[in-house]
Structures are given as C-alpha cells and as structure tokens.
C-alpha cells in the first residue's frame, strides 16, 4: 500500500519533471485529506537548503472523482509549471557557459497549452522529449535530479517502486546513453 | 501571526465543485460547498506556511488586491487566511 494513490502518480512525476522535490507528508484529519508537499528552488546544486527563494506545491494524496482538474489546474500550470524562462534558469544553475533553452521550452509550453489537458502522462511526455534535446551535461544533471527525487518516493513508499524505476529510466543517466540519444 | 492572500473562486457547476485558487502560493482547493472549499484552502495555506517556516524560506508577497482585480477581472475574488505558531506539532512526516 502506497501513500499516494496510483491515479496521482503521473501528477507527482510531472512536478518532479519540473524540479519539485517531495519534502513533507501530512496525514489528513477530519475532512482534510492526506497531502504531499513538494518544494522547488532555482538552485539544483545546493538541493534547496541554501536558497530561500523556494516554491511549494501541495498535492492531495488521493485522487478526486470530480472532473474539475482542467479548469482548476490552469492557473497553477500557467504560473509555475509552464515557465520557459524559469526552467531555463534552473537548468543553467552552475553552468560556466549558459545554454539558452528558452526557445525550446517556449515550444514545450505552447504544446502543453495547446494540449488543454491535465492528463499528466501526456504532459510528462512533452517535457521528457524536450529534456532529451538538451546538451548532454544538462540532461545528465536533470537525470540525476529525477533519480534522486524518485528514489525518495521509493524510500518513503509514496509510489510504486516499478513506476519510479520506469520514470528514472526515461532519461538515461550516463553520457554514453545520452550520446546515443543525440545522434 | 495571520497571513492573508487573495483568491479566485470558481462557482460550482454541474460537473465541477466549488474551486478556490490562491495563485500567489500555488494552492488549488475545492469543495461541494463554498464553505468546504474555503476550509480546504485555509488548510492548504496552513501547510504552505508550515513549510515556509520549517525551511526558513521567503514567503511570497500577497498580490495587491487592486492588481489582483485587474489580473482576474472576470472572476469572483475572496481572501484566504491562515496562521501558524512555531510550536505546532501536526501529524507531519518530514521526508527530506
């Protein structure tokens, strides 16, 4: 039995793909459901602790039956998860030479908007496809972060281990594998 | 200390419950009644504030209400508030 319902796994993966890291699980009380809190900062190198400019995302641990997701998620998706400039900044943290991926992520953001969906499986495919186009060292950085985040999910029994391992495998975590992708 | 943020309210429809969005702090809440949605939003804001407190992070500044009205001219708006105390011990698992 996992803390997060299977219906929510792709949503959690989407947050991780956008550099959020699970940091807190709050057990529900009364009418309040269990909730997972994730955090993101611009600084992947320090893994958040030396950076005060953090964003938190709170996700219900249980899927909801209602069909409100498309509407209610719009504001949040626009503001926090479809921001090409911020994603470009996050990827370039610690780089001596700054790579400009803004154009790439603008295309991704537009694709996500046109999709008009909160089918997170579909959204994740857009994002992962873009990460595979990055310079190898940047793709490796992201692969490392994702592996770290999904391993936390395994360790804390938030989600199924096989699902997490499948997610980790979506971005090869070696330069050899990445050079194959780029060719 | 009390923290107050402006929020957007989406009215209940045939297919959707009441939805409250607090954009400044990345919160989306819902409920079959407006009261339930407000309770949900306040609960999430409290969790958000606890995290800010624990991680000593900067709290996002609430958008000025006049600016908020300009940004969301077609939406119903309200304020969502929550407070925290340093010695609170909710049923929380710190993962990381």
Tokens read off for B72? 């969301």
Q: Are A35 and A28 in contact (CB under 8 A)?
A: yes
Q: Do B95 and A24 touch (CB under 8 A)?
A: yes
The pair of three-digit structure tokens given for residue B16, joined into one six-digit string: 């959707």
pLDDT at A149: 94
Distance from C-alpha of B71 to C-alpha of B62, rounded to nearest angstrom: 13
Using the beta-carbon criterion (under 8 Å), do B58 and A53 form an inter-chain contact?
Answer: yes
Nearest by CB: B57 against A24, A52, A67: A52
Q: How confident is the model at residue A70 (pLDDT cuts 50, 70, 90)?
A: very low
- Taking only the tens place, the pLDDT of each residue in B1-56 is 889 999 999 888 887 788 888 989 988 888 889 999 999 899 999 999 988 888 88
User: What are the structure tokens assigned to B43, written together?
Assistant: 């609960």
Looking at the predicted structure, is the pLDDT value of residue A73 above 70?
no
Cα separation, A78 vs A12, whole angstroms = 17
pLDDT on residue A94: 82
> What's the rounded mean pLDDT across residues A144-166?
95
Chain B: residue whose CA lies nearest to A75 = B23
CA distance A78 to chain B (A): 10
Per-residue confidence band for A3, with pLDDT thresholds at 50, 70 and 90: very high
Q: How many CB pairs under 8 A join A and B?
A: 104
Q: Does A183 touch chain B if contact means CB atoms closer than 8 Å?
A: no
CB contact under 8 Å between A25 and B43, yes or no, is no
Q: Which residues of B touch A (CB under 8 A)?
A: 8, 10, 15-17, 19, 21, 23, 25-28, 30, 36, 39-40, 43-44, 47-48, 50-52, 54-58, 60, 90-96
Q: Any idea which of A61-70, A88-97, A107-116 has the lowest mean pLDDT?
A: A61-70
Q: Which of A15, A41, A56 to mutate to test the interface with B (most CBs of B within 10 A)?
A: A56
Instruction: Give the count of beta carbons closer than 10 Å to the beta carbon of residue B43.
Output: 22
Higher pLDDT, B63 or A67: B63
User: Quick check: A58 and B27 CB within 8 A?
Assistant: yes
* Cβ contact, residue pair A75, B21, below 8 Å: yes
Among A123, A156, A127, A161, which residue's Cα sits nearest to residue A142? A127
Give pLDDT tens digits for A116-143.
777 889 889 999 999 999 999 899 989 9
Domains of chain B by range and CATH?
A: 2-83 (3.30.160.250)
Chain B residues with CB under 8 Å of A23 CB are 51, 55, 94-96
Burial class of residue B11, CB neighbours in 10 A (0-12, 13-18, 19+): exposed
SS3 B77: strand
Q: CA A47: distance to chain centroid?
A: 14
Going by pLDDT thresholds of 50, 70 and 90, the confidence category of residue A67 is: very low
| Among A58, A56, A22, residue whose Cα is nearest residue A41 | A56
CB of A57 within 8 Å of a chain B CB? The answer is yes
Of A73 and A156, the structure prediction assigns the larger pLDDT to A156
Distance CA B3, CA B62 (A): 9
| Chain B residues inside the 8 Å CB shell of A68 | 10, 15-17, 19, 30
């Amino acid at each position: 039995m996992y803390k997060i319902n299977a219906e929510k796994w792709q949503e959690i993966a989407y947050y991780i793909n956008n550099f959020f890291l699970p940091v807190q699980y709050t057990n529900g009380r009364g009418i309040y459901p269990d909730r997972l809190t994730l955090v993101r900062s611009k600084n992947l190198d320090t893994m958040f602790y030396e950076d005060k400019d953090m964003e938190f995302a709170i996700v219900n641990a249980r899927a909801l039956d209602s069909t409100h997701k498309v509407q209610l998620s719009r504001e949040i998706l626009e503001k926090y998860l479809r921001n090409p400039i911020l994603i470009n900044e996050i990827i370039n943290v610690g780089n001596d030479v700054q790579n400009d991926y803004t154009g790439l992520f603008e295309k991704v953001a537009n694709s996500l908007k046109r999709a008009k969906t909160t089918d997170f499986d579909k959204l994740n495919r857009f994002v992962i496809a873009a990460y595979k186009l990055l310079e190898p060292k940047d793709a490796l950085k992201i692969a490392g972060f994702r592996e770290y985040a999904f391993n936390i999910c395994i360790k804390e029994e938030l989600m199924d281990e096989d699902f997490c391992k499948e997610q980790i495998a979506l971005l090869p975590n070696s330069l050899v594998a990445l050079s194959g992708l780029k060719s | 200390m009390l923290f107050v943020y402006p929020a957007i309210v989406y009215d209940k429809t045939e297919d959707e419950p009441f939805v409250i969005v607090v954009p400044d702090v990345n919160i989306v809440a819902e409920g079959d009644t407006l009261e339930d949605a407000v309770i949900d939003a306040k609960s999430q804001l409290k969790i958000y504030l606890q995290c800010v407190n624990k991680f000593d992070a900067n709290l996002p500044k609430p958008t000025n209400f006049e600016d908020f009205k300009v940004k969301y001219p077609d939406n119903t708006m309200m304020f969502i508030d929550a407070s925290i105390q340093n010695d609170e011990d909710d049923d929380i698992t710190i993962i990381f």
